Structure 1
């Protein structure tokens, strides 16, 4: 978290950390770096950000949402500052940041992972955060977005035990999102291009494939067709864990919930 805060200190007028009553040194570290603290019980990432928006009296034109494991590079920070200054009165209302993903100490450059694009900067009153359990995005209510040229960094320094624990929790929220949102029309939602393509593929293609086999096809696509094998042992582990652990776990929990629903109907 300290790295995330330090990376945006030069370009931020105010930094606020939304803490879910953590028992480690998160609050102390954030305060020592000049950040303000909001505390709210954790439900999901979207609700934490929405809580912050509804609670804070935001005076700036631009808002950035940065996760604790994301670091804005110096070149990207300079580019962000320039774009924000030159587009105050234009219809550019969002900025998409490019992230380089690091897994087990290796930069992943293949497998469809690089660059990981995410719109995390937008003009106040020109966008909103989707209220979803998972796969939440900032959506523009008007105008358009622009993508940075320089990369930033997604660096999770925790071990595989933490990765597994985190993705187990993600899988449960993914299932809730699936049953809540899978059949909804999203034609009127103005996602940025990258997010729109990913969501279309997931909802309209991936989830239409047979449960139990789609995780296998996902692995083949990522590892072979998208050249994930070029990222060495770390790339293989990442592709395997994403497909045969995370995506398959999501499918198993979907089946579990369907069976539970059917049992209650009997």
Structure 2
């Protein structure tokens, strides 16, 4: 068994995705822990066929589900790698992990992987989506799930981190080829984000990371979020979509890519703002 790291994966009806991911990491011979939230398809049989240890937990949101996983699996390796079921490890990242030596990273507590995001078979290369660094590998017992987020999920580590710019993970949710599925999913997400932003307005929820435009990838995103929250509701989706389309070159993405930027960068953000206004009007009287 791999002495350096273990994998933790969250699942819910992932029979279409899980085989891709598990096949991409199988030869690393690492322990696999899967936290499922009530799958009714073949997900659990697939996990069993790869020798994964499986636990069940009722899903509330991603940050809480990750928190449960990290606290309830007995992970004995010095490093933990947390992956989503719709991700895959590329050959380049596989090679880096296969050659990973803990002794060469004694002063490092976390490692960022570079993500390539796909939508309906199209690599989303522009519009802020690449490069995109995610903290996915961290020292066991030191990295933790950021519970101050309601929808976005991230791991946090104190101390030094490093970035593997060529250590790609591929992310493609094949269920989202059906736009009705995508919209239903993001309607749910918009409820979580709207509630979270209202709670931040009321100082009921604070950022775990120190915002820093010159800091780590997550600290930079924390700084950008602070800027975002200061922009006028209703106006900011137009500003953001324009920024992604023209300043970050999303206009060159092609038809499928532009559709993605419209849905994710405008429709979703506009839906969130509409729901924030409704909450403020109906419940907070602000």
After TM superposition, the score normalised by the length of structure 2 is 0.85
Q: What stretches of structure 1 move > 6 A for 4+ residues in a row?
A: 189-192
More helix by share: 1
Match of 1:244 in 2: 266
Gaps of 5+ in 2: 1-17
- 2-side partners of 1:146 and 1:73: how far apart? 16
Indicate whether 1:36 and 2:53 are aligned: yes
The match for 1:21 among 4, 27, 38 is: 38
Alignment of 1:78 with 2:100, yes or no, is no
Partner of 1:57: 74
Q: How many residue pairs were aligned?
A: 262
Structure 1 62/17 Cα, relative in aligned 2: closer, same or farther at 3 Å? same
Query: Matches of 1:5 and 1:177 in 2, distance apart?
Result: 33
Q: Which runs of 5+ in 1 are unaligned?
A: none
The equivalent residue for 2:243 is: 221
Matching residue of 1:119: 135
CA RMSD of aligned residues (A): 2.1
Offset of 1:11 from its aligned partner?
A: 2.3
Deviation per CA, 1:7-39, whole angstroms, max 9, x where unpaired?
222225211111111111111111112211110
Query: SS in structure 2 opposite 1:66?
Result: strand
Which stretch shifts more, 180-189 or 109-118? Answer: 180-189
Corresponding residue for residue 153 of structure 1: 170
C-alpha offsets along residues 149-197 of structure 1, whole Å, 9 cap, x if unaligned? 2322011112212211211111111123223346535565899711211
Cα distance in structure 2, aligned partners of 1:190 and 1:60: 31
Partner of 1:210: 232
